[in-house]
A = this chain, B = another copy of it.
């Protein structure tokens, strides 16, 4: 939780950190600024509240964070830029020098944020050289302090995650109901005018419903059919007409418009009917899903849950990453991941997740087993976002039926 940051800084010997002010969205910054939309430089010393440094234009927006806001002016940036026009290294040195002086920053300093790889490399190299003896740039651990803090959600975050879950579920159900109003014409799926329904039509419907719910699809939903459904990250082509009986993998993972907590959920549907082969595989995926929901307990290494699911699939003859690393048929991915301000965050639940990573109260994770056989023309995935509550068990935040077949009643 956010309140763990000081403790984590102390544990890792971080005297202060800076989140570099870039135009890139950065969810660590959103986390610290309580969602304010400012491309602020954030400075936090151990034991002190974070402060924000923004351009004059962003003062009002930054103030929404509830944190103390400074402007570039306070650190003489306009004069520095004039004096050192075009010399980025000198500008960085003078600007950061003023910040370090004002807040008495010395010692082990960590830099976070999101930005250009090339700019980061140059800027931190220059700071390291130009402040040698005063500042030592920290290499944080593989799971950095933000990832650790963010992987357990506080009450306010859970409220926001539940809200995103309720809204996303409402859109899933509305999509299901709307698909059901169509009818079969041979193997085609058509609307009341007899027009074939395409994936593009469905995505437009979903985007409209999301917008009405105040949500946005920033990462590009998956609505993929048949062979495409068997390739887990194929998103589905807009001009593909839907067909009776094909598997459809619908993976929807929106966030509130403008930023906030994501929800991640997948349903697999067959319109009108499903083949016996798909029905059997679907039952197995649902079995893996319910088994992993039931087995999940606080203190358990997350990878054990992935291994449990691999064992279930392997006992039915499907390849998995446990015995066949890199397989592209059978069960081909991780069981899940943390969900929060990023759609993918800590903790991971995969075969290579270090065994020290265990489930904790306050985790919000996706649970998403699946089976994929593109050459057989099908793929299946079922996914809920779940919250690990105070009793230590998984509570789903996704509310949509798990039925495979959607009847065509139009």
Smallest beta-carbon distance A53→chain B, Å:
13
Which listed residue, B24, B86, B118, touches A352 by the CB 8 Å rule?
B86
- Bound: A204/B211 CA distance, A: 8
| Residues in B neighbouring A207, C-beta threshold 8 A | 211, 257
CB neighbors of B among A54-103 (8 A):
55-61, 71-73, 77-79, 81-82, 85-86, 88
Smallest beta-carbon distance A363→chain B, Å:
19
Question: Is the CB of A20 closer than 8 A to any CB of chain B?
Answer: yes
- Contacts A142-B86, A142-B88 hold; do A110 and B114 have CB atoms under 8 A apart? no
Which listed residue, B56, B60, B71, B326, touches A56 by the CB 8 Å rule?
B326
- Bound: A334/B314 CA distance, A: 61
Smallest beta-carbon distance A151→chain B, Å:
16
- Contacts A72-B326, A78-B326, A117-B20 hold; do A233 and B112 have CB atoms under 8 A apart? no
Check if A139 sits within 8 Å of B122, measured CB to CB.
Answer: yes
| Residues in B neighbouring A232, C-beta threshold 8 A | 57
Which listed residue, B56, B82, B144, B351, touches A118 by the CB 8 Å rule?
B144
Check if A61 sits within 8 Å of B233, measured CB to CB.
Answer: yes
| Residues in B neighbouring A24, C-beta threshold 8 A | 24, 114
| Residues in B neighbouring A137, C-beta threshold 8 A | 121
Check if B325 sits within 8 Å of A58, measured CB to CB.
Answer: no
- Bound: A352/B113 CA distance, A: 25
Which listed residue, B37, B78, B112, B326, touches A73 by the CB 8 Å rule?
B326
Residues 311-329 of chain A, each 1 if its beta carbon lies under 8 Å from chain B, else 0: 0000000000100011010
Check if B120 sits within 8 Å of A86, measured CB to CB.
Answer: no
| Residues in B neighbouring A257, C-beta threshold 8 A | 207
Check if B111 sits within 8 Å of A117, measured CB to CB.
Answer: yes
Question: Is the CB of A208 closer than 8 A to any CB of chain B?
Answer: yes
Which listed residue, B144, B231, B258, B333, touches A220 by the CB 8 Å rule?
B258
- Bound: A120/B140 CA distance, A: 12
Check if A352 sits within 8 Å of B121, measured CB to CB.
Answer: no
Question: Is the CB of A115 closer than 8 A to any CB of chain B?
Answer: yes
Check if A112 sits within 8 Å of B120, measured CB to CB.
Answer: no
Check if B112 sits within 8 Å of A115, measured CB to CB.
Answer: no
Question: Is the CB of A344 closer than 8 A to any CB of chain B?
Answer: yes
| Residues in B neighbouring A56, C-beta threshold 8 A | 326, 328, 332
Q: Which residue of B lies closest to A303 (CB)?
A: B85
Check if A57 sits within 8 Å of B142, measured CB to CB.
Answer: no
- Contacts A120-B120, A326-B73, A352-B86 hold; do A23 and B114 have CB atoms under 8 A apart? no
- Bound: A142/B208 CA distance, A: 42
Check if B122 sits within 8 Å of A118, measured CB to CB.
Answer: no
Check if A57 sits within 8 Å of B233, measured CB to CB.
Answer: yes
- Bound: A230/B120 CA distance, A: 33
Smallest beta-carbon distance A302→chain B, Å:
13
Smallest beta-carbon distance A145→chain B, Å:
9
- Contacts A56-B326, A115-B117, A325-B78 hold; do A37 and B220 have CB atoms under 8 A apart? yes
- Contacts A120-B117, A208-B211 hold; do A325 and B79 have CB atoms under 8 A apart? yes
Question: Is the CB of A125 closer than 8 A to any CB of chain B?
Answer: yes
Smallest beta-carbon distance A384→chain B, Å:
21
Question: Is the CB of A185 closer than 8 A to any CB of chain B?
Answer: no
| Residues in B neighbouring A328, C-beta threshold 8 A | 56-57
Question: Is the CB of A116 closer than 8 A to any CB of chain B?
Answer: yes
- Bound: A231/B120 CA distance, A: 30
9 nearest interchain CB pairs? A78-B325, A78-B326, A86-B354, A57-B233, A56-B328, A120-B120, A113-B117, A57-B232, A81-B352
